[in-house]
Chains A and B, each alone.
Chain A
Amino acid sequence: MKSLAELAAIRERMKDKVVLREGSGDIRVVVGMATCGIAAGARPVLNRFVEQVSAQGLADKVTVTQTGCIGICQFEPVVEVYEAGKDKVTYVKMTAEKADEVVEKHLKGGKVIAEYTISAMDA
């Protein structure tokens, strides 16, 4: 492993933030990580969300979690966005590039990207 001293430094930096995290999670991003999702490419999608939520300074507001099969395997990778007081948004056939856009426009800008949602697929 890398030097554990670096981890100790992270602990020092995170001390105050850990308290903040308790009240966080206004927005929840859930990535389907069952066999169907993984085979369709969910791993890079999940990792891009984790990376970009931090890079865009959204870590206090947005949590990224994983779930099992959502039941719409043909649309994997599937990403659901939950926000208190709003309807759930289901993004389908996601890629890392689309994840960048969702972070930028939806999580940061508050605007749902309609053409990536499951409703656009039905039409």
Chain B
Amino acid sequence: MKELSLNILDIAQNSIKAGAAHIGVFLEETADTLEMTIRDDGCGMTQDVLRGVTDPFYTTRTTRSVGMGIPLLKLAAEQTGGSFSIESVSESDDPASHGTTVRALFHKNHLDYTPLGDVVSTVCTLIQGAPDTDWHFRHRMGERTVEIDTAEMRQVLGGVPLDSFEVLDWIRQSLLEEYAGFDTQ
């Protein structure tokens, strides 16, 4: 992947496929590090499946829920001297509280760090692809925060779907404005 934002897009597709009602994408940046967390309340994975997902050769063509995506993200993090973890509770093990959390830590000053890239496009693409899911995106850079929460938006929008072009455009402009505000500070 040319940008970490593409890894985010890819990994969050797994959360959509897991039938999650809520998906959180959180980025925490310091001067030296970027921590990425993607958390969902989808169907989760059994511990057996979970052990295999970081192995690119584990997947068969019939298992579409996992693939190269997780090994690629793990590699992207570890090649910067960072770390990767994935935790999951399967719906069959705990019907009340299940889901998956993927975490990756990057060292931004490492030669092999992949830039974050166009994260705004990733957020818009995710919402367009799963407009009935509630998305919470938050990017903290020290004191500054860029954030969008579709649950709040839905209260104002009533029945207007999130994938209406005007709404998607509002989301894009909203995020771009927040990011731009920081650049001028």
A38 touching B9 in the complex, CB below 8 Å, given contacts A7-B157, A47-B125, A54-B165: yes
With a CB–CB cut-off of 8 A, which chain B residues contact A47?
A: 121, 124-125
- The binding surface of chain A is classed by DSSP as helix
The answer to whether A2 and B128 have CB atoms under 8 Å apart is no
Q: Which of chain B's residues has its CB closest to A64's CB?
A: B128
Binds B, one of A10-18, A82-90, A107-115: A10-18
Asked whether any CB of chain B lies closer than 8 Å to the CB of A1, the reply is yes
User: B116-132: which residues lie under 8 A (CB-CB) from chain A?
Assistant: 118, 121-122, 124-125, 128-129
Task: Please classify how large the interface on chain B is, using the bins under 10, 10 to 19, 20 to 34, 35 or more.
Answer: 35 or more
Residues of A within 8 A of B173 (CB): 2
Say which residue of B13, B67, B124, B170 sits within 8 Å of A7 (CB atoms). B170
* Nearest CB on B from A5, distance (A): 8
- Asked, given contacts A7-B153, A35-B72, A38-B1, whether A14 binds B6 with beta carbons under 8 Å apart, the answer is no
Bound state CA distance, A17 and B174, in angstroms?
23
> How far does the alpha carbon of A13 sit from the alpha carbon of B166 in the complex, in Å?
10
Let me know if A38 and B10 touch, CB within 8 A: yes
Instruction: State how many residues of chain A have any CB contact under 8 Å with chain B.
Output: 33
**Which of A50, A59, A64 has most chain B Cβ within 10 Å?**
A50
Among A11, A53, A54, A59, find the residue whose CB has the most chain B CB atoms closer than 10 A: A11
Give Cα A38–Cα B2 distance, bound, in whole angstroms.
Answer: 10
Cα separation A34 to B14 with both chains bound (whole Å):
9
Q: Complex formed: what's the CA distance from A14 to B122 in Å?
A: 25
